[in-house]
Amino acid sequence: MENKKKDKIDFSYNLNNFEPYIYFKNIHFHYNIIYKNIKKEIEEKKNLKLQGKEIFEKEIEFLSNELNNHDFYFSCLIEPRFFSEEKISKELFICIEKNFKNLEILKEKILNKSLEIKDSGWIWVILEEKEKLNIVKTNYHSCQWNDNFYPLIGIDLWEHSYYFDYGPEKEKYVNNLINNLINWEYISNIYHKYISEKFS
């Protein structure tokens, strides 16, 4: 089974530039501490394994999923000054209309799905078939990056992604993210890549 793990990203944006939707303190903690520590912990466990130490594969698998999820999440973000729904490609827009009638209904369903997560988890907009979109939730970091999982949007709903800014109001966080920070050009490019490589 092919692993679709993405190349590790270099989040080159100025972390101040996501305000007022995500403030520096929150995204600094999320990216520079949480995310980078995940990468560090994976390398440490791999090194211990090379040294012959007993390392549970499930630990590395969990951390790898966590890393892949965060790679995708940060790749899906864009500074609000560059945000534009006009950058949704024509083909993706048609697919959204076919599955959800319009973009506003898609955003409403993303918001409603996020409220189903009572603890920690993720919300994903995925391509299931060539013209079939779906919104799914995964608990903790349990999604598997394989040929049955074609994500277009990934939203982190662990508290570290929003609590400094929004407290327990994750609905407000998700609403601001999908209306001001989604990189639709990047997502459109991923959509076309899936279509050409997986569903042609």
Residue 66 maps to which CATH number?
Answer: 3.55.40.20
Q: Is 8 within a domain?
A: no
Number of domains present in the structure of the chain: 1
Q: Is 171 within a domain?
A: yes
Residue 144 has a pLDDT of 62
Residue 1 has a pLDDT of 33
At 38 the three-state DSSP class reads helix
- Please, what's the b/e burial string for 122-142 (b: 16 or more CB within 10 A of its CB; e: otherwise)? bbbbbbeeeeebebebbeebe
Average pLDDT (91-113) is 98
Q: Is 154 within a domain?
A: yes
Structural domain that includes position 113:
22-200
Tell me which of 16 and 153 has the higher pLDDT: 153
Instruction: Please say if the pLDDT value at position 12 is more than 70.
Output: no
CB-CB contact of 125 with 108 (8 Å): no
16: exposed, middle or buried (Cβ count in 10 Å: 0-12, 13-18, 19+):
exposed
* 127 strand-pairing partners: 133
Q: Is 3 within a domain?
A: no
CB-CB contact of 139 with 119 (8 Å): yes
- Please, what's the b/e burial string for 83-120 (b: 16 or more CB within 10 A of its CB; e: otherwise)? beeebbeeebbebbeebbeeeeebbebbbebbeebeee
Residue 7 has a pLDDT of 45
CB-CB contact of 175 with 111 (8 Å): yes
Q: Is 53 within a domain?
A: yes
Among the listed residues 105, 81, 36, the one whose alpha carbon sits nearest the alpha carbon of residue 183: 81
Residue 181: DSSP 8-state: T
Q: Is 101 within a domain?
A: yes
Amino acid at 181: L
Please report which confidence band the pLDDT of residue 143 belongs to, taking 50, 70 and 90 as the band edges.
Answer: low
